[in-house]
Amino acid sequence: MGARMDGWHLGNGQLPLPGTRLAERTFRQSDLPEIRRFAAAFSARAGVKAERHADFVLAVSEAAACALAYGPCSARLRLWTAGTRALGEIHADEMLLRQGPRGVRQDGAETLRRWLLRQLCDDVSVEPGPHGVTVRFSVVLT
């Protein structure tokens, strides 16, 4: 029985395993311009269609900014392909969560980033937790 994809999750809640193209990079806030160049190079190698290339690069940039928005920290970016999708995961740790009455509070910029990610990507998840925040996203290649 094959694994079924539900959005970017496999049926068992796991992310699809990386295909042949896996790229990783650790970064900080000051590295965001380099992260955009890194995403552009990956997009070209992975075969993201030309009309989605700029969207993919912007999505990586916004996801990185979203992951770093909660405080000074380092983050790890992973990009890979699986089937017909380019997937990304960014995990930022050592963050300073802004707590409100219902947990993590979103300011206007954070709300806009999440809205933009939903417009640019086919699937998006932002998961803050006690050990950091993880942003996951996917874009159809062709």
- Pick the residue with more confidence: 62 or 22? 62
pLDDT at 58: 95
Q: Which CATH superfamily is domain 24-140 in?
A: Histidine kinase-like ATPase, C-terminal domain (3.30.565.10)
Mean pLDDT of 97-119: 69
Percent of the chain exceeding pLDDT 90 equals: 39
Mean pLDDT of 77-106: 72
pLDDT digits (tens, 9 = 90+) for 2-35: 233 334 444 444 555 555 568 999 999 899 999 9
Is 54:106 a contact under the CB 8 Å cutoff? Answer: no
On average, the pLDDT of the chain sits at 79
pLDDT digits (tens, 9 = 90+) for 81-90: 988 889 999 9
Is 56:46 a contact under the CB 8 Å cutoff? Answer: no
Mean pLDDT of 128-138: 85
Of 47, 29, 126, 132, which is closest to residue 85 (Cα–Cα)? 47
SS (H, E, C) the chain: CCCCEECCEECCCCCCCCCCCEEEEEECHHHHHHHHHHHHHHHHHHCCCHHHHHHHHHHHHHHHHHHHCCCCCCEEEEEEEECCEEEEEEEECCCCCCEECCEECCCHHHHHHHHHHHHHCCEEEEEEECCEEEEEEEEECC
Q: Quick one: tokens of 99?
A: 């707590």
